[in-house]
Amino acid sequence: MTAPASPDLAELEAALRRLVERALGARTERVEWLPGQLGLRRFARLYLAGGGPPTLVARIEAPEDPVGRPAGVAPEPPLEPIRALLEREGIPVPARLAADERSGIELLEDVGDLSLAAAALAASPAERRALYEEACDLVPRLQRVRDPGGVAAFDRRMDEALLAYKAELFCEWVAVPEAGPAAGRAVKDAFARIAEAVRAAPMRLAHRDLQSANVHLRAEGPPGRRLVLIDLQGALLAPPEYDLVCLLRDSYLDLAWEEVLRQLARIRPRLPDAPGEDELAHRFDLLTLSRKGKDLARFVLAARRRGDSRYLRFAPPTVRALRAAAVRAASRDPHFHALAEILAALPEQPCAR
């Protein structure tokens, strides 16, 4: 496993051991650093003896990613209290075992390494469909969670500033390098149009990053109760289609469009706002453009700025999803014609050099 690059690694491991002993009365026999993701937060699996569970996962906050949020928007909130709220509401999330707020360390239930992406790739078509039905069923449950007061997620929302940030990322790392400065204007115009649609939409609680890597399967969960959501701290208010975009237009597992449509038709009437078919379809495509544009930009950014090219293999399905969404959006609204043309000419592996 890859350990985080830090001159204070030994000190951090010592802090983990002290917290486990103080909070759980257990001894840490081994610390296994887990591979990093696109963000800078760090995770380790701790193997325990003498009390507590046999393993747990330590979540360690890190300095904020300088490209991780738009200017003028508050930093991502901590994991608590949104995790506790979802737990109370019956949403499957990891249990919190202990924390040290000063060092930014939280000890969480170890829900295992099997993600929805890995499970779906190994599953039969029928098993994969059942897994995605179970995942999609969590979306209306999330959207029915009400603000109890004091939970930052309900003060955060998808808005013009956030969409402008996504447009800026896509322009800087993909559109302008590949298609020239004029493409930047077309992208920003299209994202401004998306912002208009978002402004008119109902707002519901969204996980905000409900992709297959952030849905895990507990080893002993029965069918229909296997899934658990991780990476919850970015939750915010968003249109009812947003989590469905994250889940069904996921770069890490390229679902057939027929399966996407089947899942949308099944879940649409269960959403609290139950948008009409055309309304849901149009917003789904617009939010796909904003989400996948941002994802593609971050894949390229990670490769070119950080030397982390792991995510470039997910660029081709991301580009294909963008192209298809732009064509459908342009068929309903001519404001998206220019963006559709830019995406049609975009290579499936942009800016890989």
In this predicted model, what pLDDT tens digit does every residue of 81-104 receive, in sequence order?
Answer: 999 999 999 999 999 999 998 888
8 A C-beta contact, residue 58 and residue 14:
no
Last residue of a domain, one of 109, 133, 149: 109
Q: Same domain, yes or no, for 175 and 315? A: yes
Q: Same domain, yes or no, for 94 and 165? A: no
Residue 238's pLDDT band (cuts 50, 70, 90): very high
How much of the chain is in helix, strand and coil states, percent to nearest 5?
50, 15, 35
Q: Same domain, yes or no, for 259 and 167? A: yes
Q: Same domain, yes or no, for 329 and 214? A: yes
Rounded mean pLDDT of 2-16? 71
User: Residue 108 phi/psi, 5° resolution?
Assistant: -120, 155
8 A C-beta contact, residue 323 and residue 277:
no
Residue 351 lies inside a defined structural domain of this protein:
no
Residue 210 lies inside a defined structural domain of this protein:
yes
Residue 306 lies inside a defined structural domain of this protein:
yes
In sequence order, what DSSP letters do the residues of 298-339 get, joined into one string?
Answer: HHHHHHHHS---GGGGGHHHHHHHHHHHHHHHHHH-GGGHHH
Q: Same domain, yes or no, for 39 and 136? A: no
Q: Same domain, yes or no, for 297 and 213? A: yes
141 CB-contact burial (10 Å; exposed 0-12 / middle 13-18 / buried 19+):
middle
Q: Same domain, yes or no, for 125 and 241? A: yes
pLDDT tens digit string along 34-53? 987 656 789 999 999 988 89
Residue 318 lies inside a defined structural domain of this protein:
yes
Distances 11 to 6, 105, 353 between C-alpha atoms, Å? 10, 13, 38
Q: CA 189, CA 333: separation in Å to the nearest integer?
A: 13
pLDDT tens digit string along 149-175? 999 999 999 999 999 999 999 999 999
CATH number, domain of 233, equals: 3.90.1200.10
Q: At what angle do helices 160-170 and 181-199 cross, to 10 degrees?
A: 160
Residue 1 lies inside a defined structural domain of this protein:
no
Tokens at residue 280, please?
A: 């849901």
Select from 76, 69, 85, 84 the least CA-distant residue to 104: 76
Select from 237, 210, 76, 69 the least CA-distant residue to 156: 237
Q: How far is residue 131 CA from its own chain's centroid?
A: 18
Would you tell me how many other CB atoms lie within 10 Å of the CB of residue 125? 9
Say if residue 72's pLDDT is above 70. no
Q: Same domain, yes or no, for 304 and 322? A: yes
Last residue of a domain, one of 55, 83, 109: 109
Last residue of a domain, one of 55, 76, 109: 109
Q: Which domain holds residue 14?
A: 9-109
Q: Same domain, yes or no, for 80 and 48? A: yes
Q: Same domain, yes or no, for 137 and 213? A: yes
8 A C-beta contact, residue 213 and residue 115:
yes
Q: Same domain, yes or no, for 43 and 154? A: no
Cis peptide before 272 (omega within 30 of 0): no
Q: Same domain, yes or no, for 339 and 209? A: yes
Residue 323 lies inside a defined structural domain of this protein:
yes
Helical segments of 124-215, H only: 125-143, 160-170, 176-179, 181-199
Residue 40 lies inside a defined structural domain of this protein:
yes
Residue 297 lies inside a defined structural domain of this protein:
yes
The count of structural domains within the chain is 2
pLDDT tens digit string along 259-305? 999 999 999 999 999 999 999 999 999 999 999 999 999 999 999 99
Q: CA 324, CA 312: separation in Å to the nearest integer?
A: 20
